[in-house]
């Protein structure tokens, strides 16, 4: 089966996520992070943050919703039954704090075939309410037997 | 902490995800893919059982690298990983790292997350400002 590449360069509508203190607590707890800047407003302010701050990898919480329509887009045509999450990269800018409103856009960067596998690479770009970049992600999904 | 030099091992991190960890991570992250929480579904698609979320293990890798900077979330500037093996619940995860380069206050750590011999995350590269 030939791989479809016409979705390369396609962008999907932005999603917006408001960061909340209790969601940060829930995420930090499951990962086992104990720094009080993720739980306590006073500790976060004393450390120079506007409010309770999210751990870096909390970026998956606010950016993943923008990726969902990209992954399920028939123009992309990924075979989910044979798909694995192959790789992931994030770069962080301004920290994400409770009360921030983060807007994320998704784009298809590359689709290519290598060794009988399909590689689908997406980018997410997240900015806060002040227009500052908080995170940029590169999501690589691999589909076996294309 | 003491100055890090190329080749140094960084402190390892151990985590013990219990049977219900994938459920809690699904709730925390919003990723309810049934391969992580439903054993019958996981087996029906050819997996031995439910598997850990790759991004949960990446979260542990991020935590391990952040701890080099005393847990300051601003210190982690970039993290790139490759998911190379499936992680299982109820199995200890060990995250280890080796200093790859030190330049202008930025340390690059080559990190691995493993369950025994199974390296679930390899070629992970973290940039930490120290």
3-class state of residue A8 by DSSP: coil
pTM here?
Answer: 0.96
CATH of the domain at B61: 3.10.129.10
Residues of A in contact with B121 (CB under 8 A): none
The whole-angstrom distance between A57's CA and the closest CA on chain B is 6
- B129 pLDDT above the threshold of 70: yes
3-class state of residue B110 by DSSP: strand
What is the enclosing helix (H) or strand (E) of A86? strand A83-92
Angle between helices A21-31 and B54-66 (to 10 degrees): 90
Q: What pLDDT does residue A36 have?
A: 98
Residue A104 near residue A126, CB atoms below 8 Å? yes
Q: pLDDT tens for residues B5-56?
A: 999 999 999 999 999 999 999 999 999 999 999 999 999 988 999 999 999 9
A97–chain B Cβ distance below 8 A for any pair: no
ipTM, two decimals, is 0.96
Residue B116 in any domain: the answer is: yes
Q: What pLDDT does residue A80 have?
A: 83
Q: What pLDDT does residue A82 have?
A: 84
Q: Which of A15, A20, A28, A33 to mutate to test the interface with B (most CBs of B within 10 A)?
A: A33
Beta bridge partners of B112: B96
Residue A72 in any domain: the answer is: yes
Provide the domain count of chain B. 1
Question: Could you tell me the residue range of the domain that residue A102 belongs to?
Answer: 11-18+62-144
Angle between helices B21-29 and A59-71 (to 10 degrees): 80
Nearest to A108 by CA among A120, A122, A119: A122
Q: What pLDDT does residue B1 have?
A: 52
Residue A136, token pair as written in the block: 């940029």
Residue B1 in any domain: the answer is: no
Residue B3 in any domain: the answer is: no
Question: Could you tell me the residue range of the domain that residue B125 belongs to?
Answer: 9-129
Q: pLDDT tens for residues A73-114?
A: 999 999 887 888 999 999 999 999 999 999 999 999 999 999
Q: What percent of chain B has pLDDT over 90?
A: 94
A95–chain B Cβ distance below 8 A for any pair: yes
Provide the domain count of chain A. 1
Residue A33 in any domain: the answer is: no
Q: Band of the pLDDT at A1, cuts 50, 70, 90?
A: low
What is the enclosing helix (H) or strand (E) of A145? none
Q: Which residue in the set B59, B74, B81 is minimally distant from A87, CB to CB? A: B81
Q: Which residue in the set A32, A53, A86 is minimally distant from B63, CB to CB? A: A32
Residue B4 in any domain: the answer is: no
CATH of the domain at A79: 3.10.129.10
Q: Which of B26, B28, B47 to mutate to test the interface with A (most CBs of A within 10 A)?
A: B28
Vertex B114: Cα angle to B113 and B115 (nearest 5): 145
Residue of A nearest to B129 (CA): A92
């Amino acid at each position: 089966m030939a791989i479809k590449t016409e979705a390369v360069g396609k962008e999907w509508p932005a999603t917006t996520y408001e960061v909340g203190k209790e969601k940060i607590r829930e995420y930090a707890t499951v990962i086992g992070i104990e720094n009080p800047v993720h739980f306590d407003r006073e500790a976060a302010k004393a450390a120079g943050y506007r409010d309770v701050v999210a751990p870096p990898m909390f970026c998956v919480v606010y950016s993943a919703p923008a990726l969902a329509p990209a992954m399920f887009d028939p123009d992309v045509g990924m075979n989910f039954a044979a798909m694995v999450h192959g790789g992931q990269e994030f770069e962080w800018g301004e920290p994400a704090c409770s009360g921030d409103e983060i807007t994320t856009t998704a784009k298809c960067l590359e689709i290519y075939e290598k060794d009988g596998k399909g590689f689908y690479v997406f980018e997410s770009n997240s900015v806060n309410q002040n227009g500052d970049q908080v995170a940029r992600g590169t999501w690589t999904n691999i589909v076996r037997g294309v | 902490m003491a100055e890090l030099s190329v080749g140094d091992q960084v402190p390892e991190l151990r985590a013990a995800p219990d049977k219900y960890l994938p459920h809690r991570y699904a709730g925390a992250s919003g990723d309810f893919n049934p391969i992580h929480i439903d054993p019958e579904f996981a087996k029906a698609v050819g997996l031995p059982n439910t598997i850990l979320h790759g991004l949960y293990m990446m979260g542990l890798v991020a935590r391990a690298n952040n701890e080099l900077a005393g847990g300051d979330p601003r210190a982690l500037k970039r993290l790139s990983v490759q998911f190379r093996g499936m992680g299982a619940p109820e199995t200890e995860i060990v995250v280890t790292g080796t200093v790859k380069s030190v330049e202008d206050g930025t340390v690059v750590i080559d990190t691995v997350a493993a369950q025994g011999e199974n390296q679930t995350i390899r070629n992970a590269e973290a940039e930490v400002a120290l």
